[in-house]
Amino acid sequence: MPVGIFDSGLGGLNIYETLARRLPGVSFCYYGDNGNAPYGVCSQDQIFRYSCAGIEHLWRFGCDLVILACNTASAAALRRIQEEWLPDGKRVLGVFVPTIEKLTERSWGDVSPPRQVAIERVALFATPATVASRAFQRELSFRAVGVDVEAQPCAGLVDAIEDGDLMLADAIAQVHVEALLRRMPNPQAAVLGCTHYPYVEDAFRQALGPLPIYNQPELVAESLADYLRRHPELKGGRARERFVTSGDPGSVSIKATRFLHRCIEFEQIPVPAGRFET
Ligand code: DGL
């Protein structure tokens, strides 16, 4: 039974690659909804419907456990998915909580009241939909008090990355860092709250200077490894990998191969997931 990994496009590959390295015995099936990306400019309702359609594809490939390797879907849709839509026996996990647990020095299952933590000023970089949802601040407030979050909606950044134009993406990242630093000149930590952003992590690092950056692939891999230790029944089978997309498999494969520095071949989903008439 493979573990499903879902993203609007290429960003979740960062999470996938780290997971596959960390959990060499586990099978994975990756689904990129490149035909509908970027999600960051969609409404919450659209993101919910696209995410449900993508998760259903992964169920068809036998994935009872799906990681939403997409902050935008985790922020805008995960709660609704879990509360209103998810049938018994299926699980969907997001990428927000592991990041926030790390930031607030908590381990899984710690439900003690919110408390003061070492970091008091956080710079959050995320898509416009993630920032608008305020899900990061909501999850943080369950665990910590007195943390000031300045969030920068990084318009245009995912589009440049999905187009494979990393030079443009670097420049856009820099502009967004400068905009945030004008509002919060001395953050103590930064969170790259979109799984596409590790492709331009160097640009963020240069623009931010010597600041701890919370980067999700390692944090999510650590958290999934721990989850699978507690639920070993969800990781059966021998290790395999499979990549499917709602976009053009040829161009998605070329970009994925370039980003991950190894040959990645995507298959096409016959009907792009979640292509709903509006
Ligand atoms: N990679 C996704 C995220 O983590 C989605 C980006 C998008 O499609 O706008 O937010």
Local structure of residue 204 (DSSP, 8 states): H
- Choose the residue to mutate in 14, 47, 127, 172 for probing ligand 1, maximizing ligand atoms within 8 Å of C-beta: 127
Cβ neighbours around 20 below 10 Å, total: 18
Closest ligand 1 atom to 75 CA? 10
Query: What DSSP string describes 219-242?
Result: HHHHHHHHHHHH-GGGG-S---EE
The pocket around ligand 1, CB under 6 angstroms, is made up of: 7-9, 11, 37-40, 70-72, 127, 130, 158, 194-196
- Catalytically annotated residues: 70, 194
What residue's CA is closest to ligand 1, atom 2?
70
Alpha-carbon distance values, 61 to 5, 30, 45, 64 (Å): 11, 10, 25, 9
- Choose the residue to mutate in 34, 71, 215 for probing ligand 1, maximizing ligand atoms within 8 Å of C-beta: 71
Local structure of residue 115 (DSSP, 8 states): E
Cα 101 from Cα 108, distance rounded (Å): 7
Cβ neighbours around 278 below 10 Å, total: 5
Backbone angles phi, psi at 94, to 5 degrees: -100, 180
Alpha carbon of 196 to ligand 1 centroid (Å): 6
Q: What is the pLDDT along the chain (278 residues), one digit of tens a residue?
A: 899 999 999 999 999 999 999 888 899 999 999 999 999 999 999 999 999 999 999 999 999 999 999 999 999 999 999 999 999 999 999 998 889 999 998 887 788 999 999 999 999 999 999 999 999 999 999 999 999 999 999 999 999 999 999 999 999 999 999 999 999 999 999 999 999 999 999 999 999 999 999 988 988 888 888 888 888 877 766 668 999 999 999 999 999 999 999 999 999 986 645 544 33
Closest ligand 1 atom to 8 CA? 8
CA 122 to chain centre: 18
Model pTM score = 0.93
Cα 99 from Cα 97, distance rounded (Å): 5
Alpha carbon of 132 to ligand 1 centroid (Å): 13
State the virtual CA torsion across 122, 127, 131, 133 in degrees, nearest 10: -140
SS3 content of the chain, % helix, strand, coil (to 5): 45, 15, 35
